[in-house]
Amino acid sequence: MLDIKFVQENKELVKENIRKKFQEEKLPLVDEVIEMNERIKELKLNGDLLRQERNAISDEIGVLFREQKVEEANQKKQRVVEINQQLEGIEQEEKELSVCLREKMMVIPQIIDASVPVGKDDQENVEIERFGDPVVPSYEIPYHADICENLGGLDKESAGRTSGNGFYYLVGDIARLHEAMIAYARDFMIEKGFTYCIPPFMIRSDVVTGVMSFAEMDAMMYKIEGEDLYLIGTSEHSMIGKFKGQLIDEKKLPIAMTSYSPCFRKEVGAHGLEERGLYRVHQFEKQEMVVLCKPEEAMDWYDKMWSYTVEFFRNLDVPVRTLECCSGDLADLKVKSCDVEAWSPRQQKYFEVGSCSTLGDAQARRLGIKMKTESGNQYLATLNNTVVASPRGLIGVIENNYQEDGSIKVPKVLQPYMGGLEIISRK
């Protein structure tokens, strides 16, 4: 959410930013919020003048009563009644306008970084760099669900009976491989200096609206019926929410955390849930990284964070590339974002396994998270990035470590988490 003062002083910049995101329908909002804010300031001024008049009259009434001028004092009291009635109307209008102003401000997108390429949607995202050689073996690589089923590691039929489409059972060594990735991701990030955290898996609506846009919330979040609670779609939500309303001494920054959680997503408006596979599902597990820092340090952290995900997947023998998200593909709260994509030797193309974003002060402003500095209190910056989300990340490991005989080679870094197992084969 932008500062209304910034919008007033940079009206054309805000409008141009909206055009870059191909959201022309939001252009009228800029003038609307400016007019609304001017009306709120006018109401505040009128209210202050009336309160000053009321205070002065109250002093006069006291003097008049002491001087036994009861009739004149009562006339003054009538004016106080009128002022109170006027103030009630002013305060009510100010309250309603302030709520409306906030709602409109939350729809205006964050100013994107100058380096973000302009494009309408994800089809216009730009490849930045490749890491590792994208190898296609001489033998055929089956569909990942078939590989897992042949190894006795996947049961979607039973999950269909218990939970419906979009759920799954992982079994045996495939399940162990999945958890080994998560455990290794935890230790990998701890070694990078991040503090490990397991957050709440449900959060209140005021936290949800503080960390994401309304459109994202409707498309992603599962609501707990009868309660003001939502299942998290990523631990970033509760990790940022941890600092809601807090004033943090700048000497304690940066705060770098890595968090584990299950994640739940409705996937409304997505490309459809796979009947057999694990690429797009309602439930998965994730190791996340979240950073709170000074605004001027955000871009340095952004570059470090996505590079950690690249390093993580390269340690799993998975070739990856980074993809710069274009303006039209950025969520409204994001300043800049890139995806990390893993190589699929079966499809002979890359697919998304992680996303790194810097959000400027958007989340901090919505949630009231500030840092205490010598020059005063100000909003800090927040960033988030996926270390690994599985089973999607599991697909990349399986395909890139699949052997001609149908077995899977366990990446060396994961073997200690699997009791030294080097090969997953059919039993």
pLDDT at 204: 94
Q: Which residues contact 112 (CB under 8 A, 6 or more apart)?
A: 17, 20, 21, 327, 330, 334, 335, 336
pLDDT tens digits for 335-352?
999 999 999 999 999 999
The count of other CB atoms within 10 Å of the CB of residue 416 is: 13
Q: How far apart are CA 387 and CA 288, in angstroms?
A: 5
User: Which residue matches tokens 């871009």?
Assistant: 299
pLDDT tens digits for 202-254?
999 999 989 987 677 777 889 999 999 999 999 999 999 999 999 999 999 99
- CATH code linked to domain 4-105: 1.10.287.40
Average pLDDT (367-386) is 96
User: Which residue matches tokens 């004033």?
Assistant: 247
The count of other CB atoms within 10 Å of the CB of residue 193 is: 9
The DSSP 8-state label assigned to residue 391 in this structure reads T
pLDDT at 67: 78
Q: Are strands 154-155 and 169-170 parallel, antiparallel or unpaired?
A: antiparallel
Domain layout of the chain by residue ranges? 4-105, 122-424
Query: What's the pTM value of the predicted model, to 2 decimals?
Result: 0.90
- Assess contact for 397 and 318: CB atoms under 8 A: yes
pLDDT at 109: 94
pLDDT tens digits for 320-332?
999 999 999 999 9
pLDDT at 8: 95
Q: How far apart are CA 188 and CA 309, in angstroms?
A: 10
Q: How far apart are CA 385 and CA 115, in angstroms?
A: 19
pLDDT at 272: 52
From 3.40.50.720, 3.30.930.10, 2.130.10.30, 1.20.120.1080, which CATH number describes the 122-424 domain?
3.30.930.10
Do 122-424 and 4-105 have the same topology in CATH? no
pLDDT at 1: 85
Average pLDDT (192-201) is 97
Is the pLDDT score of 64 beyond 90? no
Is the pLDDT score of 177 beyond 60? yes
CA distances from 267 to 141, 286, 331, 352, 383 (A): 28, 16, 16, 15, 23
Average pLDDT (288-293) is 98
- Assess contact for 49 and 56: CB atoms under 8 A: no
Is the pLDDT score of 270 beyond 60? no
